[in-house]
Amino acid sequence: MTKIRSALSSIPVAAWLMYAFLGWFIVAFLIYPNLNVYYEIFWGGGSFSLDAVHKLISSERAMKSLYNSFILALSLVVTVNLVGIFLVLVTEYFEIKGAKILRLGYFTTLVYSGVVLVSGYKFIYGDSGFITRVLSHLFPAFNVNWFHGYGAVLFVMTFACTSNHVIFLTNAIRKLDFQTVEAAKNMGASTFYILRRVVLPVLKPTIFALTVLLFLTGLGATSAPLILGGSEFQTITPMILTFARSVTSKDLAALLALVLGVATLLLLTLMIRFEKNGNFMSVSKVKSALVKQKINNRIGNVLVHTAAYLLFVIYIIPVVLIILFSFTDARSISTAMLSPGEFTLDNYITVFSNMSAFKPYLVSICYAAVASLAVVVLTLMASRILHKFNNIWSRTLEYALLIPWMLPSTLIAIGLIVTFDTPKPILGNTVLLGTLWLLLIAYVIVHIPFTLRMVKASFFSIDGNLEDAAKNLGARSFYSFRRVLLPIILPSALAVLALNFNNILADYDLTVFLYHPLYQPLGIVIKNSTDAQALADTQALTLVYSVILMIMSAITLYGVYGRSSRSKTK
């Protein structure tokens, strides 16, 4: 009897509760509604049909777009990693004059994205853009329509997609033990050799995680190909979005999304295997902080400085132009001409004058705060399990959490609606449709895979000895998690939190299906007032809202990320 009692008390109740909660959450919100939507789509008519496959294979355009998506994804993995690693080395590793200002420039992609970002680039390189005008002035034979197709899309996306590098690689490189660099230097290793053999291996887990995300971003590219691709370089996602909204073509959307999702999973499986084969981490117990390295080679130094400042200019100009043009009217925007007489505050007055519209900001901020925090907590739990165990259950858990990558967000929304519009036993017979919860749950679901990748990567760069030491000193599992592990991964976790928060603020695709009618989020209000059907100066309003969102995002980033990084350097 006492034996049983002691056996029972040794079972960690809290841990089991956590497992039970995770299991329930995954079944109720990741597996059930998403399987349901696949079922409705493919078997909805009573029998399974391969029509969708046939339609897609016989469409030249669909096949070409799919091919382009993969080409773009693979190219981005190369170009963004190159640029991203360079940016982080410039701001964190090498001694570069004005690195702090450069960093601000490189951070700009964190506060704006999508259509606005691409339009920003079009202001500069488009047919009436600034650079184009300079070039055509210098070379009269210059073709003003040069900026479109594969090259243009790759150019814009290469610079647009470095956000994650700037945040997570920075976190990773700060964990580098400077003693290892010193040791290599003392042994006479060259700058490049140290980079390759000492610095990069430490960054490897993070680079792997970022590579998977890049591949997915490339496959999911929407606005850049739509605006700059021209007819010669269209990708598949715009087609998926169109089909997902139409009543009869959902099967095509689901099928295409499945193809992209499976490709991503394959890459991920490959990466997970690589990760297992070798996780490099420093074995030093007393780490010393990184000292910025001077580039001794004069020519090399000049080259790196030039490249760093050139990149800075590329990053900063679109943002400056967006802010400037938000003070002009549609005609100035479409011709990309700035003249001093045209500046006006009218656009801002229009946006802020009908301020029953403060409520949407509040609704969106609440949703974004709660959802992004919930995602991080959830993925912390999951990463903890993945870090602790390696068995069939942990692997199942990991793949289950990646399900949202297999469906476009529109279909995830539809899955939630068709599943939870009637009482379901798994939720204690409550109806979620028409409550505030449904949208919150959807935001959480959609951001799980990305968050998990990043949180997990930082978990796996932790030295296992630390936890063992805590255990040997008698710390309980939760205590050692809270006092030893959490502080190490907190910078990355907070960064993900901020990124998710910013993403949710102005989301439209998912929100439009699920928001509670009485609590309209910001994304809906923006879309309504900048819709093509609207009468007002819609292009100018789009820019005004973008500037507002940039400011909100910048505040979030400063609050969460800027402060935490400063406290670290103290």
Partner 1 sequence: MKKTISLMMIFTLCLLLAACANGNSSTNQGAASPAASNGQTEPQSSQAPVNEKLIVYTNSNSDGRGEWLIDKAKAAGFDIEIVGAGGADLTNRLIAEKNNPIADVVYGLNSMLYEILTQNDVLEPFTPEWADEVEEGLNDPDGYYHSLVKQAILLAYNPEKYTPETAPKDWSDLWNKAEYKGMYEAPTLLGQGTPRIVAAGILTRYQDPSGEYGISKEGWEQIKKFYDNGVPAVEGEDFYSKLAGGQTPIGAMVSGVLASKEKQYGVKSGIVSPEIGVPVIVEQTAIVKGTKKRETAERFINWLGSAKTQGEFAKEFNSMPANAKAAEQANEDVKKLYASIKTQTMDWAFIAQNIDNWAEKIELEVLK
Q: Cα separation of 532 and 535, whole Å?
A: 8
- Cβ–Cβ < 8 Å for 445, 412: yes
User: Which of 302, 338, 334, 301 lies closest to 317, judged by CA?
Assistant: 338
Please report whether residue 536 would count as binding partner 1 according to CB under 8 A.
yes
Structure token pair of residue 435: 């409550």
The nearest distance, CB 287 to partner 1, in angstroms, is 19
Binding of residue 484 to partner 1 (CB under 8 A) = no
Q: Does position 532 bind partner 1 by CB under 8 A?
A: yes
Site for partner 1 (CB under 8 A): which residue of 71, 366, 469, 475?
A: 366
Within 8 A by CB and 6+ apart from 325, the residues are 123, 332, 333, 338, 540, 543
Closest CB to partner 1 among residues 85, 499:
499
Spatial distance between the Cα atoms of 181 and 187, rounded to a whole number of angstroms:
10
Distances (CA, A) of 324 to 338, 475, 538: 8, 56, 16
Q: Tell whether residue 143 is a contact of partner 1 (CB under 8 A).
A: no
Question: Shortest Cβ distance from residue 416 to partner 1 (Å)?
Answer: 9
Give the CA distances from residue 214 to residues 101, 163, 236, 453, 518, in Å, rounded to whole numbers and listed in that order. Answer: 26, 11, 16, 12, 37
Q: Which of residues 152-181 bind partner 1 (CB under 8 A)?
A: none
Closest CB to partner 1 among residues 64, 287? 64
Residue 294 is classified by DSSP as P
18 contributes a contact to partner 1 by CB under 8 A: no
Asked if residues 279 and 460 have their Cβ atoms less than 8 Å apart, the reply is: yes
Q: How far is the CB of 137 from partner 1 (least distance, A)?
A: 20
Please give the single-letter amino acid code of residue 95. E
Does residue 223 touch partner 1 according to CB under 8 A? yes
| Binding residue for partner 1, selected from 75, 301, 477, 538, defined by CB under 8 A | 538
Interface pick for partner 1 out of 9, 47, 186, 231 (rule CB under 8 A): 231
- Closer to partner 1 by CB, 159 or 501: give it: 501
Q: Is 565 in the site for partner 1 (CB under 8 A)?
A: no
Nearer to partner 1, 87 or 552 (CB): 552
Shortest Å distance, C-beta 401 to partner 1: 21
- Which of the residues 246 through 265 are near partner 1 (CB under 8 A)? 246-249, 252
Residue count, binding to partner 1 (CB under 8 A): 75
The answer to whether 376 touches 451, Cβ cutoff 8 Å, is yes
Residue number with CB closer to partner 1 (354 or 472): 354
Q: Smallest gap, in angstroms, from Cβ of residue 542 to partner 1?
A: 8
Residues 51-82, buried b or exposed e (16+ Cβ, 10 A)?
ebeeebeeeeebeebbebbbebbebbbebbbe
Give me 133's structure tokens.
């005008």
C-beta of 187 vs 518, nearer to partner 1: 518
227, 254, 411, 498: residue in contact with partner 1 (rule CB under 8 A): 227
At residue 295, the 3 state secondary structure works out as coil
List the one residue from 44, 149, 238, 562 that touches partner 1 (CB under 8 A): 238
**Binding map of partner 1 across residues 174-213, x = CB under 8 A, - = no contact:** ----------------------------------------
Q: What is the 3-state secondary structure (H, E, C) of 110-137?
A: HCCCHHHHHHHHHHHHCCCCHHHHHHHH
Q: According to CB under 8 A, which one of 26, 37, 41, 62 is a site residue for partner 1?
A: 62
Which residue in the set 339, 391, 567, 569 belongs to the binding site for partner 1 (CB under 8 A)? 567
Torsion sign over Cα 428, 430, 431, 435: negative
Residue 294 token pair: 């001077």
Interface with partner 1 in residues 280-309 (CB under 8 A): none
Which residues in the 381-440 window bind partner 1 by CB under 8 A?
414, 417-418, 421-422, 431, 433-437, 440
Six token digits for residue 292: 């910025």
C-alpha 72/C-alpha 441 separation (Å) is: 32
Q: Which of 239, 280, 220 is nearest to 446 (CA)?
A: 220
In the complex with partner 1, the residue whose CB is nearer, 296 or 354, is: 354
CB distance 282 to 461 below 8 Å: no
If one asks whether residue 54 binds partner 1 (CB under 8 A), the answer comes out as no
Q: Which of residues 489-508 bind partner 1 (CB under 8 A)?
A: 490
Residue in 239, 267, 382, 506 binding partner 1, rule: CB under 8 A: 239
Q: Which is nearer to partner 1, 226 or 272 (CB)?
A: 226
Q: Which 77-136 residues touch partner 1, going by CB under 8 A?
A: 115, 118-119
The interface region with partner 1, picked from 226-234, 284-292, 308-316, 386-394 by CB under 8 A, is 226-234
Q: Tell me the three-class secondary structure of 62-101, residue by residue.
A: HHHHHHHHHHHHHHHHHHHHHHHHHHHHHHHHECCCCHHH
Q: Nearer to partner 1 by C-beta: 58 or 186?
A: 58
Enumerate residues 338-357 that contact partner 1 by CB under 8 A: 354, 356
Closer residue to partner 1 in complex, CB, 263/436:
436
Which residue, 80 or 118, is less far from partner 1 as judged by CB? 118
User: Could you say which DSSP state residue 59 is in?
Assistant: -
Q: Give the 3-state secondary structure of residue 12.
A: coil
Q: Judged by CB under 8 A, does residue 74 bind partner 1?
A: no
Length reported for the chain: 570
Smallest distance from partner 1 to CB 57, Å = 10
Interface residue with partner 1, options 15, 22, 59, 316 (CB under 8 A): 59
